Copies of this chain bind each other. A is one copy, B any other.
Amino acid sequence: MKDTKRIAVLGGGSWATAIIKMLSENLETIGWYMRSVYAIEHIKRNKHNPSYLSSAELHPEQLDLSDDMNVIVDNYDILIFAIPSAFLKTELDKLTTSLENKVIFSAIKGIVPESGLIVGEHFHEKHAIPFENIGVITGPCHAEEVAMERLSYLTLACQDQEKAKDLSNFIAGRYIKIKISDDIIGTEYAAMLKNIYAIAAGIAHGLGYGDNFQSVLMSNAIREMKRFIKKVHKMKRNINNSAYLGDLLVTGYSVFSRNRMFGNMIGKGYTVKSAMLEMSMVAEGYYAAKSAYNIKKDNGAKTPIIDAVYNVLYDKKEAKDEFKKLTNRLD
């Protein structure tokens, strides 16, 4: 047990719950904001999150639970946000207290739809958080495997690497290994782009392409991701590190990925609307595709896969035709 009253998690989903589980191996008290009073009561009584990652055993005596975000923000120094990007702005609108001097780590993958920004940029531009106080927690990591205590490697990125190292002491453990990085922009874009590639993998699968094509698609996707991120933020990075390639693979090859599932339905002939209705949620890659497409229009990166996904999702192009064209742009 290393410290108290320092770290809080904001969000009540699977990934938030997984991070709580990691932290509770090392901390006596963890702040935890979630919207649902019902979930909070359930956790206190039953030691499990009722709706997400319910297989993970939680320890209520270590948890400072609150349904008031302002209380948690006031009482903790390091705030780990794990709220789906589609709801982040609505949640942050509840803030009446200040985020000044707080260290913000984003465990969110995706674009904030209202601002069109990745989460770090959103906090920087909309909440005036300096970049040295912004960090990213990224995978490759299915929350479900954290619940099962299967060995997972996370990357903590922060411009001020000392802050990433500090947090890593409370997250690393028996089944979690941590790598430190200073590439907050690149790791966040990678986490966002991989969802688009997972949609592409799903579409290809839905259309009947096989494993041979999937491997070519992933091999092209990592090269495309490299070109894209280089245009957005040029720095020395090895795109084959776990935070980039590993994260792409764990999602692109997962049959449980919501993004891949969404793509698969599109490939099988569902319209975008009916696929969303059927899933009763919006896959993060859906927003990411639009945002990435607009960014690449500005910066001129060559992105055949993003183009194809965008054309299918937003330009009413037939998946079959669009992917036929795509096959000629890959190698």
12 residue pairs bridging A and B, Cβ less than 8 Å apart: A142-B210, A150-B210, A151-B212, A151-B213, A153-B331, A177-B331, A179-B331, A214-B250, A215-B246, A222-B245, A223-B238, A242-B331
Most buried by B among A212, A242, A249: A212
Cβ of A242 and Cβ of B213 under 8 Å apart? no
The yes or no answer to A128 lying at the interface (CB within 8 A) is no
Over the window 244-259 of chain A, the binary record of Cβ atoms lying under 8 Å from chain B Cβ atoms (1 yes, 0 no) is: 0111011001100000
- Report B-chain residues with C-beta under 8 Å of the C-beta of A223: 238, 240-241
- Report B-chain residues with C-beta under 8 Å of the C-beta of A327: 151, 177
The yes or no answer to A148 lying at the interface (CB within 8 A) is yes
> Which residues of A175-225 have CB atoms within 8 Å of chain B's CB atoms?
177, 179, 208-216, 218-220, 222-223
> Which residues of A287-331 have CB atoms within 8 Å of chain B's CB atoms?
327, 330-331
Known contacts A151-B327, A152-B210, A222-B240; 19 additional CB pairs below 8 A are A139-B212, A140-B212, A145-B210, A148-B210, A150-B208, A151-B210, A152-B212, A153-B330, A177-B327, A177-B331, A211-B250, A211-B254, A214-B250, A215-B247, A218-B249, A219-B241, A226-B240, A249-B249, A253-B253
Cβ of A250 and Cβ of B212 under 8 Å apart? yes
From B140, B145, B216, B246, A140 is in contact (CB under 8 Å) with: B216
Nearest-neighbor residue (CB-CB) of A213 within chain B: B151
Complex-state Cα separation, A230 to B222, whole angstroms: 20
The yes or no answer to A19 lying at the interface (CB within 8 A) is no
- Report B-chain residues with C-beta under 8 Å of the C-beta of A261: none
Cβ of B249 and Cβ of A140 under 8 Å apart? no
- Report B-chain residues with C-beta under 8 Å of the C-beta of A245: 215, 218-219, 222
Complex-state Cα separation, A240 to B216, whole angstroms: 10
Cβ of B209 and Cβ of A151 under 8 Å apart? yes
Nearest-neighbour CB distance to chain B for A115, whole angstroms, equals 30
Nearest-neighbor residue (CB-CB) of A176 within chain B: B212
Cβ of B238 and Cβ of A218 under 8 Å apart? no
The yes or no answer to A141 lying at the interface (CB within 8 A) is yes
Nearest-neighbor residue (CB-CB) of A225 within chain B: B240
Complex-state Cα separation, A219 to B218, whole angstroms: 12
Nearest-neighbor residue (CB-CB) of A207 within chain B: B151
- Report B-chain residues with C-beta under 8 Å of the C-beta of A210: 142, 145, 148, 150-152
Complex-state Cα separation, A254 to B145, whole angstroms: 20
- Report B-chain residues with C-beta under 8 Å of the C-beta of A218: 245-246, 249
From B153, B179, B208, B215, A249 is in contact (CB under 8 Å) with: B215
Lowest 10 CB-CB distances: which A-B pairs, in order? A215-B250, A219-B246, A150-B210, A152-B212, A140-B215, A215-B249, A215-B246, A145-B210, A219-B245, A219-B242
> Which residues of A96-149 have CB atoms within 8 Å of chain B's CB atoms?
139-142, 145, 148
- Report B-chain residues with C-beta under 8 Å of the C-beta of A145: 210-212
Complex-state Cα separation, A152 to B216, whole angstroms: 8
- Report B-chain residues with C-beta under 8 Å of the C-beta of A141: 212
Most buried by B among A177, A219, A226, A241: A219
Complex-state Cα separation, A288 to B265, whole angstroms: 41
